[in-house]
Amino acid sequence: MNLVGRAMLQLSMFIVVGSLLMLVITDSGSAARIISVIALAVGLLAAVISMILSRLGSRQDDSPQEEP
């Protein structure tokens, strides 16, 4: 996994953990709760995208190169 992919995954996990903690302490139906849910969705989406891109990148690195 390259440096950018690892950083994106770490940042998205930070957002996911933070939003999960906020979901526990915020009141149901409040604006803070809605923002926490949106942050959770964005964090999970970013994590999935970074995992997919890292898998695609590792497959391209493993493919045999043709010699000219």
pLDDT tens column, 28-53? 989 999 999 999 999 999 999 988 88
What is the rounded average pLDDT of the residues 18-29? 93
In this prediction the pTM is 0.77
Instruction: Give the burial class of 36: count Cβ atoms within 10 A of its Cβ; 0-12 exposed, 13-18 middle, 19 or more buried.
Output: buried
The confidence score (pLDDT) of residue 64 equals: 63
- In the chain, where the domains are located: 7-58
Q: DSSP assignment of 10-62, as one string?
A: HHHHHHHHHHHHHHHHSPTTSHHHHHHHHHHHHHHHHHHHHHHHHHHHHHHHH
Structure tokens at 30: 């409040």
The confidence score (pLDDT) of residue 5 equals: 80
The confidence score (pLDDT) of residue 21 equals: 95
| Whether 54 contacts 1, CB under 8 Å | yes
Higher pLDDT pick, 18 / 6:
18
